[in-house]
Chains A and B, each alone.
Chain A
Amino acid sequence: MRRVVITGLGMVSPLGCGVDHIWSRIINGESGLGKITQFEASDLACQIAGEIPVGETADGYFNADDHVAAKDRRKLDPFIVYGITAAQQAIEDASWKPEDEESLFRTGVMIGSGIGGLQTIANGAVMIEEKGPRKLSPFFIPSSLINLISGHVSIRYGYKGPNHSVVTACSTGAHAIGDAARLIQMDDADVMVAGGAEAAVCRLGIAGFCASRALSTGYNETPEKGSRPWDKGRDGFVMGEGAGVVVLEELEHAKARGATIYGEVVGYGLSGDAHHITAPPPDGNGGFRAMSAALKRAGINAGDVNYINAHGTSTPLGDEIEFGAVKRLFGNNEDVCMSSTKSAIGHLLGAAGAVEAIFSVKAIKEGVVPPTLNLEDPSDECQGIDLVPLEAQERKIDVALSNSFGFGGTNASLVLKAFR
């Protein structure tokens, strides 16, 4: 089987723009969550989120002008702009800008989103009611479609290999990386630009998740405390936005051009709950089976995993169920630790799995595990595994597993390994 390594990383998140800047802040225990500022939120039950900090690129903030020209941004929902931005960073990081036709044919893109152009769709719906259908922009549809990130990235860089997109709610980013790695393994491509993007922090998005009773509502005055996975005080997730994109590459291809290798994608497991549209089954068997399948594919024993980046959204039900599944699978592994980076940046929905795979690979590369913020008093059911409360820990990480679970009962686990 062809081996797949990660050779480029890119990220936009509530902690900034650029992987190194975000990583230093997350290791430092900083939070990217705050009161919603982009729109009127005072009538919403949840008034907090992780918005993208805007400023100068050189300072680690997001400056859209450095990634997509203003005249083009009018034609793109923000989720596409975030996706292009993260892809641009990852591609530059990997230094992969082929010009010969064969290399372009062998490079593909698979960047997804959980929801897509929600703000654009909401605005368009209001527009045709108020001003009539003739006033709708010709860019309405192409600025909302989820696969248009992959489309724009391929157009910008000329990548003519597989052009695909994943839509599996909060598992999107993990599925995209896993599926793209499979395309390389199966020899459909040598290089894949893969990940997820989301920009659902808008009135319709927040109101929608409020209606399904998924968001935190008790921390509107202390937003940095709102996301608290496994803590007794947790009361729902806090939504974030942004994008995570990686460059995946066939090992020999990467070696031949002397690329920097961050780590290897050694395992990928998928499963379905067949249970409920939003709730996981109480025994967590869907997550358990996804993790087991990923380990089996990797040929790695549960005892050899050093770090788990949990789905850990800070919902009352989900956190305990995931913990239970992890405990069953890794119960004999006394050295494993698990943290949830959603405690710092919130839940990036379709981008979450990709962003968290990047954090996992950084943990491997840097030998530091990011903390679970606000974990002051773990639930009684969540005892016996080091959940890396409050502060980052220096640890040697050889193997990391990253979990993503989505509405509809769709689960994905990635196993990443140090490349030596």
Chain B
Amino acid sequence: MSNDVADRVKKIVVEHLGVEEAKVVESASFIDDLGADSLDTVELVMAFEEEFGCEIPDDAAEKIVTVQNAVDFISENV
């Protein structure tokens, strides 16, 4: 399950941020490592919501700053 979630999360990150797949490792920070700005991260969270059919509240979204954070939240809440 979590492997599948991780793959889908990474795919979205690659598409939205236009970064190389190899750079999208679990520990990667969207802003510090992958060149996102704050608006990009808002859009990323929206894309996760769309992909996984869930709603991520703003206070939870603020804590999703790395690929692993996203995988963990989705695995625990979806």
Contact = CB atoms under 8 A, between A and B. Distances in A.
A138 interface: yes
B contact face: mostly helix, strand, loop, or mixed:
helix
Contacts of B39: 75, 138-139, 142
B43 A71 contact: no
A24 interface: no
Interface in B19-68: 39, 42-43, 46, 55
Nearest to B35: A71
B43 A69 contact: no
B16 interface: yes
Contact of A71 (B18, B42, B46, B55): B18
A75 B42 CA distance: 13
A137 B46 contact: yes
B40 to A, nearest CB: 8
Given A138-B39, A139-B39, A69 B46 contact: no
Nearest to B55: A134
A75 B37 CA distance: 12
A151 to B, nearest CB: 14
A132 to B, nearest CB: 11
A268 B55 CA distance: 55
A135 B47 CA distance: 9
B78 to A, nearest CB: 17
A70 interface: yes
B17 interface: yes
Contacts of B42: 138
The 10 closest A-B pairs by CB, nearest first: A71-B18, A138-B42, A138-B39, A138-B43, A139-B39, A137-B43, A69-B18, A71-B17, A139-B43, A135-B46
